[in-house]
């Protein structure tokens, strides 16, 4: 059980982050939600967490491209629910283009949100984790943290980078009860991937269902999407005492993508 533990999950108003937040809340953790969206919908999401799981839930709107807002995220969360025991660095964006056409501002945004934000959150939560003698840091990388695909230079670079960061933090915390690991999902049908499905359907003049099958058959041998709930269950395991010696791992859950 994660009763009494406090968890921040970045980018948890949607997709994988939301699935992980639900799984941690179901184990009794208090939850800091972060991410964009309609303020009414976020307010009812927060209420749902409190009601369904009987925990404390707050939302902080920090834009993770902005280091000063990340500082505020950690300070405000600590003030409102207490010291952070579990940090899940999940917020991420995608952009698809050949490198010579890649907009410079998209490169900068992807490196800031998908990589540098995890440096900032980690450096800001570690002192309290160290003084309290317990912590779990989970970085949501990707199959693209270990292998590349064309037209995703910034994303692939950021995801390879966050696996390197994961290993360095795991070594710096190796002799403590703080662990740092990365999870490498394959295709998960979230809004981030739905956009790629829709773009492909339009470009190739095929149905959305055909575009989904095409996407999966290229990379994911199972032919099935990974689900946010499955990634939530893996996150719960990585937070457990049984996972105390899982350190610096890049753990794939990818329908066989990386077995090829
Ligand atoms: P998503 O678009 O459904 O959710 C992204 C979340 O991040 C949202 O809550 C959004 O509001 C938030 N976010 C975006 N930019 C932000 C910013 N600047 N500051 C704060 N929050 C911000 O995407 P998802 O598919 O759930 O992706 C979550 C993570 O999983 C990402 O790091 C992504 O790279 C990774 N991932 C996704 C897949 C997949 O197939 N969907 C596969 C591997 C890895």
- Report yes or no on 204 lying in a domain: no
- Report yes or no on 194 lying in a domain: no
- What was the pLDDT predicted at 198? 96
Distances (CA, A) of 85 to 58, 135, 144, 175: 15, 5, 28, 17
Count of domains forming the chain:
1
The model's pLDDT over 109-134, given as tens digits with 9 standing for 90+, comes to 999 999 999 999 999 999 999 999 99
Question: CA–CA separation, 98 vs 176, rounded Å?
Answer: 43
* Residue with CA closest to ligand 1 atom 31: 92
Is the backbone of residue 239 left (phi > 0), alpha (psi -120 to 50) or beta?
Answer: alpha
Residue 132, both tokens: 């309290």
- Report yes or no on 192 lying in a domain: no
Question: What pTM value is reported for the model?
Answer: 0.98
HSE at residue 22, side-chain half, CA atoms within 13 A, is 16
- What was the pLDDT predicted at 215? 94
Distance 94 CA to ligand 1 centre (A): 8
Residue 159, both tokens: 């995801």
Per-residue burial over 82-113, b if 16 or more Cβ lie within 10 Å, else e, is ebbbbbbbbbbbbbbeeeeebeeebbeebbbb
- Report yes or no on 199 lying in a domain: no
Residue 239, both tokens: 């937070």
- What was the pLDDT predicted at 205? 96
- Spacing of C-alpha 211 from chain mean position: 25
pLDDT tens string, the chain, 260 residues long: the values are: 999 999 999 999 999 999 999 999 999 999 999 999 999 999 999 999 999 999 999 999 999 999 999 999 999 999 999 999 999 999 999 999 999 999 999 999 999 999 999 999 999 999 999 999 999 999 999 999 999 999 999 999 999 999 999 999 999 999 999 999 999 999 999 999 999 999 999 999 999 999 999 999 999 999 999 999 999 999 999 999 999 999 999 999 999 999 99
Sheet holding 86-89, edge to edge: 57-60, 30-34, 6-9, 86-89, 135-140, 178-185, 250-253
Distances (CA, A) of 17 to 54, 87, 125, 230: 19, 11, 19, 12
- What was the pLDDT predicted at 124? 98
Question: CA–CA separation, 113 vs 122, rounded Å?
Answer: 14
Distance 175 CA to ligand 1 centre (A): 31
Tell me which of 53, 155, 225, 257 is the catalytic residue. 155
Instruction: State which residues form the domain around 165.
Output: 6-186+227-259
Residue among 17, 20, 45, 69 whose CB has most ligand 1 atoms within 8 A, to mutate: 17
Annotation marks residue 155 as catalytic? yes
125, 142 in Cβ contact below 8 A? Answer: no
60, 32 in Cβ contact below 8 A? Answer: yes
Q: Average pLDDT, whole number, for the chain?
A: 98
| Helix, strand or coil, per DSSP, at residue 80 | helix
Distance 18 CA to ligand 1 centre (A): 10
- Report yes or no on 160 lying in a domain: yes
- Report yes or no on 198 lying in a domain: no
The angle that helices 153-172 and 104-111 make with each other, rounded to 10 degrees, is 20
- Report yes or no on 214 lying in a domain: no
φ, ψ of residue 43 to 5 degrees: the values are -60, -40
Read off the CATH number of the domain in which 156 is found: 3.40.50.720
- What was the pLDDT predicted at 92? 98
- What was the pLDDT predicted at 73? 98
Atom of ligand 1 nearest to the CA of 66: 18
φ, ψ of residue 37 to 5 degrees: the values are 150, 175
The model's pLDDT over 66-90, given as tens digits with 9 standing for 90+, comes to 999 999 999 999 999 999 999 999 9
- Report yes or no on 60 lying in a domain: yes
């Amino acid at each position: 059980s994660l009763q009494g533990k406090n968890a921040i999950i970045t980018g948890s108003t949607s997709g994988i982050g939301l699935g992980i937040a639900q799984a941690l809340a179901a184990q009794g953790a208090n939850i800091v939600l972060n991410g964009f969206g309609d303020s009414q919908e976020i307010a009812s999401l927060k209420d749902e967490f409190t009601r369904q799981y009987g925990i404390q839930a707050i939302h902080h709107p920090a834009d993770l491209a902005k280091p000063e807002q990340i500082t505020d995220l950690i300070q405000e969360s600590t003030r409102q629910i207490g010291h952070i025991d579990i940090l899940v660095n999940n917020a991420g964006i995608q952009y698809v283009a050949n490198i010579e056409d890649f907009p410079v501002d998209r490169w900068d945004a992807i490196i800031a949100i998908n990589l540098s934000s995890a440096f900032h959150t980690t450096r800001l939560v570690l002192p309290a984790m160290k003084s309290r003698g317990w912590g779990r840091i989970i970085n949501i990388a990707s199959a693209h943290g270990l292998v590349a695909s064309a037209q995703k230079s910034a994303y692939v670079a950021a995801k390879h980078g966050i696996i390197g960061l994961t290993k360095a933090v795991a070594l710096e915390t190796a002799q403590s009860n703080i662990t740092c690991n990365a999870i490498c999902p394959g295709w998960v049908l979230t809004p981030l991937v739905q956009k790629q499905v829709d773009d492909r359907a339009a470009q190739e003049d095929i149905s959305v269902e055909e575009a989904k099958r095409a996407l999966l058959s290229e990379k994911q041998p199972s032919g099935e999407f990974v689900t946010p709930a499955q990634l939530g269950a893996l996150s719960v395991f990585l937070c457990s005492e049984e996972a105390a010696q899982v350190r610096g791992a890049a753990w794939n859950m990818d329908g066989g993508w990386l077995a090829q």
